[in-house]
C-alpha cells in the first residue's frame, strides 16, 4: 500500500560526499516536493517540481539540487554534504489541480546524518 517510496530510511555520509536521495511515487502525480524537517523549524521546502524536467527552488535550496527525468521519480542531490545538512528529509507528491484529496502524500522520510 506504499505510494511514495524513499529509497533509504537511514543514511550516514561523510562530509564532502555527494549524496543522492531518491523518491518514487506510483500515483501518477504531477507535483513532487522535497522538504527537510528539523526540531523547532517544522517542514522547510527545498525544491519542487510540477512536471518532468521542471524544477523550482523552494525556501532553502542552497547546497541542494534535484533531478526529475521521469514523472514518478524525484531525486534530491547534496552536491557536497555538510554537517548542517544532517536532517530528516521528506518527499511528497500531489495531483495538479484543486479540490478535495489534492493534498500531499508523503514518503516515510530519510534520516540523513553527515559526519
Binding interface with another protein (CB under 8 A): 4, 6, 31, 33, 40-43, 45, 48, 50, 90, 92, 94, 96-109, 111
What's the rounded Cα separation, in Å, for the pair 7 and 68? 15
Q: Rg (Cα) of the chain, in Å, rounded?
A: 13
Least distance in Å: CB of 94 to another protein? 8
Least distance in Å: CB of 109 to another protein? 5
Least distance in Å: CB of 80 to another protein? 26
Quote the cell numbers at residue 67.
533531478
For 104, other C-beta atoms within 10 Å of its C-beta total 17
Closer residue to another protein in complex, CB, 47/64:
47
Amino acid at each position: 500500500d506504499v505510494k511514495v517510496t524513499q529509497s533509504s530510511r537511514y543514511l550516514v555520509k561523510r562530509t564532502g560526499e555527494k549524496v543522492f536521495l531518491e523518491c518514487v511515487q506510483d500515483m501518477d502525480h504531477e507535483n513532487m516536493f522535497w522538504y527537510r524537517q528539523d526540531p523547532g523549524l517544522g517542514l522547510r521546502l527545498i525544491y519542487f517540481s510540477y512536471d518532468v524536467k521542471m524544477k523550482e527552488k523552494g525556501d532553502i535550496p542552497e547546497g541542494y539540487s534535484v533531478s526529475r527525468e521521469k514523472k514518478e521519480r524525484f531525486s534530491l542531490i547534496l552536491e557536497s554534504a555538510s554537517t548542517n545538512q544532517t536532517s530528516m528529509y521528506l518527499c511528497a507528491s500531489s495531483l495538479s489541480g484543486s479540490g478535495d484529496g489534492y493534498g500531499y502524500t508523503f514518503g516515510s522520510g530519510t534520516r540523513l546524518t553527515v559526519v
